[in-house]
Amino acid sequence: MAIFTILRRTASSAIPRSIRSIVTQRNYSSAILKNTNICFSQGIIPRTFSPILNFSSLSTQSKSDLNLVQILDSEIEEEEESCIELDEIPDWFPFEIKDDPGKQTITLGSNYQGEDIKVVVQMPGPVEEEGEEDGDNNEESVQTCISMIVSVAKGRNKPCLEFGCTVYPDEISIDSLSVRDPDTSEDDLAYEGPNFSDLDENLQNAFHKYLEVRGIKPSTTNFLYEYMSNKENKEYLNWLKNVKYFVEK
């Protein structure tokens, strides 16, 4: 249940210079100061210049940054070519989508017969599942899923039913179910009900139907899966651009 608690609340190295370099620089600076004083005493205005060691250091740093920018440019170009613009939200989609750039989640909202329905959807993540045993070796298959919290409240600031769900293609798994009181702190260790899988099978099916009539069904979640996968690609592309901008600045 840790990931669902997180969803509910959704909500610097320079290499020290060697002693030899320090001594060399100090001696060099002393020589500059001495020559400058002599020039001033003779009425000569000396030319200003920077130590060669600093130029060398800056040159090395610039080459490193330039190489990083080139690699970032290549990655950005590759992502832009593979990025596919998602079609407009279909008319049949039962929720309004609030999608803030830079966040890992989106929020869905709707109203069903006076009930306020809110859904917080997480970006896709990997799930490891044990496969069939082959001799002494256990093969594992990896697939992705999206996690979401579905809250059903009968009015604002009213207790709500809160479902923790894991969504796979064409499949919705209810992992947890609890009654949430808005006046109860998250830190309070309230009883959150039994494991959903421990409930009577008929009761489990009834809760799945309860969510279905409120819009949580395979056609909805399949679109959300595609939408969140696309969002993940866009957020990664924006992240690359932000890193590049910082390095170049």
Q: Confidence class of residue 16 from pLDDT cuts 50, 70 and 90?
A: very low
Share of the chain above pLDDT 90, in %: 45
Q: Across residues 39-63, what is the average pLDDT? A: 51
| Cβ burial, residue 142 (10 Å; 0-12/13-18/19+) | exposed
Spelled out in words, what is the top-level CATH class assigned to the domain 96-241?
alpha beta
pLDDT tier, 84 (very low <50, low <70, confident <90, very high otherwise): confident
Q: What is the pLDDT of residue 39?
A: 44
In this predicted structure, the answer to whether residue 51 has a pLDDT above a threshold of 60 is no
Mean pLDDT of the chain: 77
Of how many residues is the chain composed? 249
Please tell me the distance from the alpha carbon of residue 9 to that of residue 16, in angstroms, as a whole number.
42
The residue ranges of every structural domain in the chain are 96-241
Would you say residue 59 has pLDDT above 80? no
Name which of 31-35, 113-117, 157-161, 205-209 the model is least confident about: 31-35
By C-alpha distance, which of 80, 95, 57, 42 is closest to 223? 95
First to last CA, the chain: 42
Q: Are 3 and 127 in contact (CB under 8 A)?
A: no
pLDDT band at 190 (very low <50, low <70, confident <90, very high): low
Q: What is the DSSP letter of 223?
A: H
DSSP state, residue 158 = S
pLDDT score of 17: 43
Kindly report the pTM of this predicted structure: 0.67
Contact partners, residue 74, CB within 8 Å, separation at least 6: none
Q: What is the DSSP letter of 198?
A: G
| Cβ-contact 121, 224 below 8 angstroms | yes
Q: Which of 14-18, 87-91, 157-161 has the lowest mean pLDDT?
A: 14-18
